[in-house]
């Protein structure tokens, strides 16, 4: 009985030592507030700097998620030092409580945090990239510890859990570059002059104010015949991926204006063209 009482007394002493005092609580709050302010200020400054960095805009913004992880992990480390002496018994007690917390409901949060770390270091996508994941397409505006925020073309903000990186295929349209390939399709009557239509679409593409052409960023214009229409496809790089839809709209509008003037018409009525073409 004496041994049992001694054991219970020791456990109670360990638990009591794990409960922070008022001074420690104030220190923890200050650490959390400080970490939050550091992240917010650094995020604001880096985004301002990235806007003036030209082609290095995305390279600058990729520092943001790394900074968040470093700051928040450092904050957790200092909080642990505040509550515990870094001895083996306290470390074992903390590990047990942490493991129990994960088992009882924090496993999804833990998976999100691990996913955030993987995204920060492996960089399958970065802030500023155009990505498609879980059926959502848009621009990455923030990579947090738990979720990635994506702004869709209709200006909706979608939060995608970071653990989706382990379960879903993720496509990055620009792979960290500011320029991005855009595919523009035009469908014309199968009896139309295909060579003339290709020249018109090419001219509209290469004279666009949004286009970016270089030896490593070429453009192509191709034609393919289908039973009831011809597809004229242009592929070119937009100089800033944020102008993707303006680029597509401008080239399409100018090309159709000239096609109509040259007597080239759309496919006959009653024949539906696909919304998304095969490669």
What CA–CA distance (Å, rounded) separates 215 from 110? 45
- Written as six digits, the tokens of 31 are 């650490």
pLDDT band at 5 (very low <50, low <70, confident <90, very high): low
Evaluate if pTM is beyond 0.85.
Answer: no
pLDDT for 97 equals: 65
71-104, pLDDT tens digit by residue?
A: 887 888 788 777 766 666 666 666 666 666 655 5
254-279, pLDDT tens digit by residue?
A: 999 999 999 999 988 766 666 554 44
What average pLDDT score do residues 26-36 get? Answer: 87
pLDDT band at 14 (very low <50, low <70, confident <90, very high): low
215-228, pLDDT tens digit by residue?
A: 889 999 999 988 88
pLDDT above 80 for 66: no
Task: Count the neighbouring beta carbons within 10 Å of the beta carbon of residue 184.
Answer: 21
- Of all residues in the chain, what percent carry a pLDDT higher than 90? 26
What average pLDDT score do residues 140-155 get? Answer: 85
Neighbour-count burial of 200, counting CB atoms closer than 10 A to its CB (0-12 exposed, 13-18 middle, 19+ buried): buried
What CA–CA distance (Å, rounded) separates 110 from 161? 11
Strand partners, 226: 229
Name which of 152, 157, 161 is nearest 119 in CA terms.
161
pLDDT for 72 equals: 82
pLDDT above 60 for 67: yes
Of residues 257 and 109, more confidently modeled: 257
pLDDT for 46 equals: 83
Of residues 43 and 263, more confidently modeled: 263
241-255, pLDDT tens digit by residue?
A: 889 999 999 999 999
Name which of 271, 139, 245, 264 is nearest 184 in CA terms.
245
pLDDT above 70 for 155: yes
């Amino acid at each position: 009985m004496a041994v049992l009482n001694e054991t219970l007394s020791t456990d109670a002493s360990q638990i009591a030592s794990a409960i922070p005092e008022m001074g420690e609580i104030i220190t923890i709050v200050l650490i959390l507030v400080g970490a939050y302010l550091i992240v917010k200020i650094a995020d604001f400054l880096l985004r301002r700097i990235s806007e003036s960095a030209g082609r290095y805009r995305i390279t600058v913004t990729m520092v943001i998620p790394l900074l968040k992880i470093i700051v928040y992990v450092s904050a957790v480390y200092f909080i642990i030092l505040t509550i515990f002496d870094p001895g083996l018994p306290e470390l074992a007690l903390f590990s047990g409580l942490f493991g129990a917390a994960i088992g009882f409901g924090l496993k999804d949060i833990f998976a999100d945090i691990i996913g955030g770390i993987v995204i920060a270091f492996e960089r399958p996508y970065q802030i500023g990239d155009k990505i498609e994941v879980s059926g959502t397409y848009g621009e990455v505006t923030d990579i947090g510890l738990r979720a990635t925020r994506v702004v869709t073309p209709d200006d909706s903000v979608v939060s995608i859990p970071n653990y989706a990186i382990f379960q879903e295929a993720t496509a990055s349209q620009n792979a960290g570059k500011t320029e991005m390939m855009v595919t523009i399709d035009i469908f014309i009557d199968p009896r139309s002059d295909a060579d003339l239509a290709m020249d018109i679409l090419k001219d509209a593409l290469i004279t666009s104010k949004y286009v970016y052409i270089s030896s490593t960023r070429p453009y192509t214009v191709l034609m393919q015949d289908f039973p009831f229409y011809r597809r004229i496809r242009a592929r070119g790089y937009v100089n800033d991926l944020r102008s993707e839809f303006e680029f597509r709209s401008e080239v399409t509008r100018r090309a159709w204006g000239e096609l109509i003037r040259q007597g080239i018409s759309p496919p006959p009525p009653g024949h539906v063209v696909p919304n998304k073409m095969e490669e």
